[in-house]
Structure 1
Amino acid sequence: MLCRMTDPRSRWSMIAVFALLGAVTQVLWVTYAPVTDAAGRYYHVGDGAIGWLANVFPLLYVLLAIPAGIVLDRWFRGGLAAGAVLVAAGALIRLGGDGYAVALAGQLVVAVAQPLVLNAITAVAGRYLAERDRPTGIAIGSASTFAGLIIGFGLGTVFTDDLPTLLLVQAALAVVAALAVMAVLRTPAEHKVETPPAGLGALRVAWSDPFIRWLCALVFVPFGVFVTLSTYAQPLLEPAGVSEETAGLILIANVVAGVVGCAVVPIWANRRGRELPVLTTSLLVTTVACVTLALAPGVVTGFVALTLIGFGLLPALPIVLELTERRAGSSESTAAGLMWLTGNLGGLVVAAVVGVLVDDPTPAFLLLAVLSLLTLPLLRLFSRVSTSEPVPPRTP
């Protein structure tokens, strides 16, 4: 019997190069996070200005998620190629000088590219993999984005005091990834090439389905909790004696656990039809972990709680995207854009609220626990529509 990975109907080369591009996109996003002080000295600006080199990504994603999804549904190869080119272009722009404006311009270009890349996770799997392999492809694509965060922080650690070399290495990675994707895109996809509705038709089709709308509601809190903990874990744990360096190691453990979870949990859940129980378990684990951090914060509880949260929460992304790909048909990229849009909104809103409580960790952690717990009724309601058939949208 041939191994599934050798199925001639599945083009795993596309999954490999797309995973590389997705990882590089995230590497560029967090370029300056691990070298904030060095970057501030290099560009002669404060920490706030350096923070905006990363903050532009979720802000532009909220604005561009739906347009990018529509582009990918109508012109998939052209849209993904444009995303790859913009990723490389943004990385190269950052090499253009030692001024802050140059760095910001490069980050803005990559931020525009990000929705064209990440919205394509489901479409790449749907077009280049046989149906039975698509959950694995979506899991790989999702895991690659989190792996990119690890690589980005690792490169920042290696080149802490040499920002020009850091930018050069990242630009080389971006160019290689873009060229690889362009090369593979020369061969047309063999699967799932339905023609979507023109104009905003893809958005109407996706949003008219209650299944998609409920999925959007479900991703708001998990995304928000993960983004919030990634942003504020260090100051929230600091009163308990957790140093900045230790908090960084805890966050790395959180993301590593998430990458492992993405590679294992969604595939297991799909093969056994256990997606909803897995999502329920991840929310319960997150709730308990946040309560633990509220009542007994510390180095050990920080490592254990955030590692469990990473392993439980991050696999929710590929599970949701796989459910979206299975349901959305020719509007899959637009539907995926809706997921990323609500997820990023969740990150912005929950992080903003917790930011007000950052000097009082106990209520901050309890708030995250309550939000996770309150999402469980939504999951129960979603289960009622999960078996329904899509309802065709009304024609305008």
Structure 2
Amino acid sequence: MTAKTDNVANGIRNPSEPISSKLFLSEEDPVKHDVSGSVMDGLIMEVKDSYTVFRTRWVMLALFVLYSSSNSLQWTQFTIISDIIVRYYGVTSNVVSWTSMVYMLTYVPLIFPASWLLDKTGLRITTIIGSFGTCAGAWLKVFSVPQDLFWLGFTGQTVVAISQVFILNVPPRLAAVWFGADQVSSACSIGVFGNQLGVALGFLLPPMIVRAQGTVEEIGADLQFMFYLVAGITSVLFVFILLFFKAAPPSPPSAAADFGSSLDSNFLKSIQKLLTNRNYILLLISYGLNVGVFYAISTLLNELVLTYYPGANEDAGRIGLVIVVAGMIGSVVCGLILDKTHRFKETTLVVYAASVVGMIIFTFTLDCGYIAVVYFSSIILGFFMAGYLPVGFEFASEVTYPEPEGTTSGILNACVQIFGIVLTLLFEWMLGAAGDRWANLALCALLALGTAVTAAIRPDLRRQAAQNKA
């Protein structure tokens, strides 16, 4: 077999070789595949134009989604049952709120070394580190059930929070490395979907597992079961990632990925370019406001719901679930729209403006007395506010190309964590000082400001330009 045939058999094209109209998978199995052909069942790869996309990309994406979920489900693990944790461990509600905000606090100083590591070592190393940390933190919480060991549970939560820096900035990088130009936005939205799935489970499971009206012994047993369940899941996922997760396919899946991988990136120069990019700075502000508002509502949702619906602990968890599930659907829908239209500026602006409307509806229906109405308004809020997450990621990748996606999304998320901490503390203060109506209206005003900032971003789609030129 010739060297050229060897390359083809492995799904790799030498750039110096001419592209023939047909490609053979091997001499023994001469199945032909048009260069511009569609997916054929049973093949290991798909060939589009001169680039190859491998079916194993879906395995990599699925592993990442599950791994991301196992981390984010622990974000609200304590806060969604805040009243129970306060009573069981004898700590204040403010301390319980910090089990959520520690995710935001640890992210800011650690994202720069984590982004550098992702840029230098690739997806596999950083994913293994993050998965191990998520697993280790979950096991620390297993031993924190005694009522005098809340500090150990908080330590475990901090380890899991630190591991988050190896997750949040990965979806756009994974999508760009593994997926073709016509699937990259959808793949990014599915990657973000993993984080949202975990948040949804974090809202749903703790109120179901831990009995609000149980005795001290029953609450302790419920917490023990919940911690063992999460530790077991994270352990299995760590083994799977160690065995099966790969850094990159044998060849780039698109022209943009090919060009990006050929560049010698300088981390400090990339940061300098990003921080002098007008569009990116505006996006940092608008994205931070939107997601910061989402973090504030998610962290204090238990308090918001119980204010008007006493004893509705499980409903608080379900409302959080509804917000996130609606956002998961919104994420996928927006990703498909972006892949089909490539209208990044328009899509971002429409989704952002709709988030303002959703927040206003949520604000004026929270105290209506009918919790079913709150569920409905939560669907509207979640679809657009949580659905905005991958849209912002992809817009950032477009206006900053060819800077590394991991660095771009890392700084974006660092800004989000800062906004999240500030807005959560502000929201918590306003809830006590002025009540939920004025606190929610303040968030509405911030979202309106974010919409105006988004409108000022120019649609400089550099990645699309590179792809079209190729």
**TM-score (normalised: structure 2):** 0.75
Residue 239 of structure 2 corresponds to residue 179 of structure 1? yes
Aligned residues with identical type, % of pairs:
21
CA–CA distance in structure 1, aligned partners of residues 441 and 40 of structure 2: 47
Residue 120 of structure 2 corresponds to residue 70 of structure 1? no
The one-letter amino acid paired with 2:381 is: I
2:401 aligns with 328
CA contact (8 A) 2:142 2:224 kept: yes
Would the alpha carbon gap of residues 149 and 389 (structure 1) be closer, same or farther in structure 2, given more than 3 Å must change? closer
The within-5 A match list for 1:39-118 is 39-40=85-86, 43=89, 45-76=91-122, 77-97=124-144, 98=146, 99-118=149-168
What SS does the corresponding residue of 2:402 show, helix, strand or coil?
Answer: helix
2:333 aligns with 264
CA contact (8 A) 1:210 1:385 kept: no
Structure with more contact order per residue of length (Cα contacts < 8 Å, sep ≥ 6): 1
The within-5 A match list for 1:120-135 is 120-135=170-185
CA–CA distance in structure 2, aligned partners of residues 113 and 164 of structure 1: 22
Q: CA deviation at 1:335?
A: 0.8
Residue 335 of structure 2 corresponds to residue 289 of structure 1? no
Residue 258 of structure 2 corresponds to residue 221 of structure 1? no
1:339 aligns with 412
2:455 aligns with 380
CA–CA distance in structure 1, aligned partners of residues 354 and 151 of structure 2: 43
CA–CA distance in structure 1, aligned partners of residues 185 and 94 of structure 2: 40
CA contact (8 A) 1:22 1:144 kept: yes
Which blocks of at least 5 consecutive residues in structure 1 are unaligned?
391-396
What SS does the corresponding residue of 1:118 show, helix, strand or coil?
Answer: coil
2:425 aligns with 352
The one-letter amino acid paired with 2:232 is: A
The one-letter amino acid paired with 1:273 is: H
What SS does the corresponding residue of 2:265 show, helix, strand or coil?
Answer: coil
CA contact (8 A) 1:206 1:331 kept: no
CA contact (8 A) 1:61 1:112 kept: yes
CA–CA distance in structure 2, aligned partners of residues 285 and 52 of structure 1: 30
CA contact (8 A) 2:287 2:450 kept: no
- CA-to-partner distance for each residue in 1:218-243, whole Å, 9 max, x for gaps? 20221122122223445446665576
Residue 356 of structure 2 corresponds to residue 306 of structure 1? no
Bigger mean CA deviation after superposition, 115-124 or 344-353? 344-353
CA–CA distance in structure 2, aligned partners of residues 168 and 274 of structure 1: 45
The one-letter amino acid paired with 1:26 is: S
Would the alpha carbon gap of residues 281 and 173 (structure 1) be closer, same or farther in structure 2, given more than 3 Å must change? same
CA–CA distance in structure 1, aligned partners of residues 428 and 305 of structure 2: 13
CA–CA distance in structure 2, aligned partners of residues 187 and 337 of structure 1: 18
CA–CA distance in structure 2, aligned partners of residues 309 and 266 of structure 1: 18
CA contact (8 A) 1:73 1:196 kept: no
Q: CA deviation at 1:158?
A: 3.7
The one-letter amino acid paired with 2:419 is: G
Q: CA deviation at 1:110?
A: 1.2
CA contact (8 A) 1:293 1:301 kept: no
Bigger mean CA deviation after superposition, 256-265 or 177-186? 177-186
CA contact (8 A) 1:74 1:195 kept: no
Q: CA deviation at 1:91?
A: 1.6
What SS does the corresponding residue of 2:183 show, helix, strand or coil?
Answer: helix
CA–CA distance in structure 2, aligned partners of residues 38 and 363 of structure 1: 27
What SS does the corresponding residue of 2:77 show, helix, strand or coil?
Answer: coil
CA–CA distance in structure 2, aligned partners of residues 364 and 30 of structure 1: 21
CA contact (8 A) 1:140 1:263 kept: yes
CA–CA distance in structure 1, aligned partners of residues 87 and 301 of structure 2: 25
CA contact (8 A) 1:286 1:312 kept: yes
CA contact (8 A) 1:73 1:330 kept: no
Bigger mean CA deviation after superposition, 89-98 or 170-179? 89-98
CA–CA distance in structure 2, aligned partners of residues 89 and 55 of structure 1: 19
Would the alpha carbon gap of residues 185 and 233 (structure 1) be closer, same or farther in structure 2, given more than 3 Å must change? closer
Q: CA deviation at 1:6?
A: 7.8
The one-letter amino acid paired with 2:385 is: L
Q: CA deviation at 1:261?
A: 1.0
CA–CA distance in structure 2, aligned partners of residues 351 and 345 of structure 1: 10
- From the two aligned structures, give the one with the greater helix fraction: 1
Which blocks of at least 5 consecutive residues in structure 2 are unaligned?
1-37, 47-52, 211-218, 465-470
Q: CA deviation at 1:45?
A: 3.7
Would the alpha carbon gap of residues 183 and 364 (structure 1) be closer, same or farther in structure 2, given more than 3 Å must change? same
CA–CA distance in structure 1, aligned partners of residues 81 and 302 of structure 2: 16
1:146 aligns with 196
Would the alpha carbon gap of residues 54 and 349 (structure 1) be closer, same or farther in structure 2, given more than 3 Å must change? closer
2:227 aligns with 167
Would the alpha carbon gap of residues 56 and 41 (structure 1) be closer, same or farther in structure 2, given more than 3 Å must change? same
Structure with larger Rg: 2
CA–CA distance in structure 2, aligned partners of residues 350 and 103 of structure 1: 25
